[in-house]
Chains A and B, each alone.
Chain A
Amino acid sequence: MTDAMIGLVALPLAGALATLLLPRSATAVAIGTGLAITVAAGLLLFGVATQGALHYEIGGWSAGLGIALRADGLSALLLLMTALVMLAASVYASAYFSTVSERARFWPLWLLLWTSLNALLLSGDLFNLYVTLELLGLSAVALASLGGKRAAVAAALRYLLVGLLGSMMFLAGVGLIYAGYGTLDLAQLALAIGAGPVAWTALALMTAGLLLKTALFPLHFWLPPAHASASAPVSAVLSALVVKAAFYLVLRLWLDVFANVVTPAAADLLGVLGAGAVLWGSWRALQAERLKLLAAWSTVAQLGYLFLFFPLLLALPPGPARELAAGGLVMLALTHGFAKASLFLAIGIIQQRCGHDTIRELDGTAQRLPATTFAIALAGVALIGLPPSGAFLGKWQLLAGAVATGQWVWLVVTAIGSLLAAAYIVRVLGHAFGHRPYPNLPVSVAREEWPALLLAAMAALVLGLAGAPVWGLLEIGT
């Protein structure tokens, strides 16, 4: 099974080089690579489920000197979600980019982004995490600027500067950790670390850097322009996966590595920021005039829900109740990944077919693009958190945790946020079903519409109805 781990990093890297050298057959190479990576991610999840957490030292160099790859239940789940979302977006992108020059620029960066996502999820030490964060940031910025319009370049530049600032803070924290504890290996750190000024300062620096990268309110200012002005497949992946990578690191640091250091007061602060993100992000999504901006503001809000879990997880004693809540958090993150990718891909189809994405002028879209409208509705079900979506299970655990620990305020925030989400989704659907007869026949391109539909079905049906194994997998730690 360690072969699957190596493959997850080596395959997309080799694919990136191959697409760079063979620009004319880049699409075929990229789709083939994507299929192989998805198989590897599936094998890895199977391996973790049957054999427990996996560990591999590249070239036989032990941790400290060499690069060690690690996979537990959480990282295997996120790797598989990454693979499925990236594969669907790749199929979509093969139809979206029509000219050879567009494809030649897009595919190498796309596969590099995939490499850095996989490497980040498999890294087990702070130094490699820093390097993979930087690789992820650079490839994401380059992809976001590909659109070429002025707004896209300006947003990408701001994205890059914010990302760099975040990375520098993270690196300063890493330096402090090494000065204090003499190791960067996450497993060794978790045993060695104790509450104290060094650990607090390092955690504060690293968390601040990561919150900037994961765009938690009020550090979200860079996200809506960057995600709304990139091309559709890129927006989908930025919103669904790239911000989640930084969130995954916050989760790892707070719950695994620094578990002895974090205090309930600090977790409450994350919860308050999350609540701000839920309310402000949902409100701005409701006000948005363009579909892509709506989707981007909705990402700000959905990331907020993930942070609401932190005060609950710290208040709950270790045991079944806490594991249920932690599983709910991961379920919400997975559902949002699939749903948001689907939403952005569907919006891309509307933008290409209708020439705009202004919500007010969507009338008749449901007749023209029935499958795409259905995908938006299904993704909407998952974003609101209606049953049987995975988000319903996640929010249920959030509410159960809030009741169990007596923290009623998060319950109120979740209720208001879900109502606002229902309002902004229904607003889009209301316009899409508006009556405006079109003389031409419905246009349907399978390669474009299927990825969005399948991703939405994954979020709204599969995760909710067959998501129970997620909780079992999460118990497989490093």
Chain B
Amino acid sequence: MLTTQVLYALAGCVIVALGLRGALLHASLLQRIVAINVMGAGVFLLLIAVAYRGPGLAPDPVPHALVLTGIVVAVSATALALALARRLHAEQGDD
């Protein structure tokens, strides 16, 4: 039986696979940064599916805490990646 939880978990796995494929195969820097973020979204979706405990019950807070921390980390890492990519781009322009 395909429950909502399994559906979310499977969707998470598919998104992880898509992101991983993009991160490994794309040549463009920006595409790779976006692909890693897509992969992160898949992992977060998987964790949210894990937190589900059934209808009417409060979800498990621990995976939610994992997701929140993961989002903070992903945002700061993306910011650093974009800053480095911009500097690289600016220096390429100088050559």
Q: Report A131-173 residues with CB < 8 Å from chain B CB.
A: 131, 134, 137-138, 141-142, 145, 150, 153-154, 156-157, 160-161, 164-165, 167-168, 171-172
- Which residue of A is nearest B40, CB measured? A168
Chain A proximity of B29: nearest CB distance (Å): 7
| Among A153, A156, A168, A179, contact of B50 (Cβ-Cβ < 8 Å) | A179
Check if A97 is an interface residue, CB within 8 A of chain B. Answer: no
Q: For the complex, what is the distance from the CA of A10 to the CA of B26, rounded to whole Å?
A: 41
Interface residue range, chain A? 20 to 34
CA distance A154 to B16 in the complex (A): 26
Q: Are B46 and A160 neighbours in the complex by a CB distance under 8 Å?
A: no
In the assembled complex, the CB of B75 is this many whole angstroms from the nearest CB of chain A, namely 11
B16, A174: Cβ atoms closer than 8 Å: no
Contact A171-B81, Cβ < 8 Å, known A150-B91, A161-B32, A161-B33: no
For chain B, the bracket of interface size reads 20 to 34
Q: Are B39 and A171 in contact (CB under 8 A)?
A: no
Contact B77 A157 (CB under 8 A): no
Roughly how many angstroms separate A289 CA and B76 CA in the complex, as a whole number? 37
- Residue pair B85, A157 in contact (C-beta under 8 Å): yes
CB-CB contacts below 8 Å: B1-58 with A:
16, 19-20, 23, 29, 32-33, 36, 39-40, 43, 46-47, 50
Residue from the list A160, A161, A168 in contact with B43, Cβ < 8 A: A168
B43 contacts A171, CB within 8 Å? yes
Q: How far is the CA of A131 from the CA of B69 in the complex (A)?
A: 8
A184 within 8 A of B: yes
Question: Smallest Cβ distance from A99 to chain B, in angstroms?
Answer: 19
Q: Least Cβ distance of A436 to chain B in Å? A: 35
Q: Which residue of A lies closest to B61 (CB)?
A: A65
Interface flag for A222 (CB, 8 Å): no
Q: A178: which of B19, B63, B80 is its contact (CB, 8 Å)?
A: B63
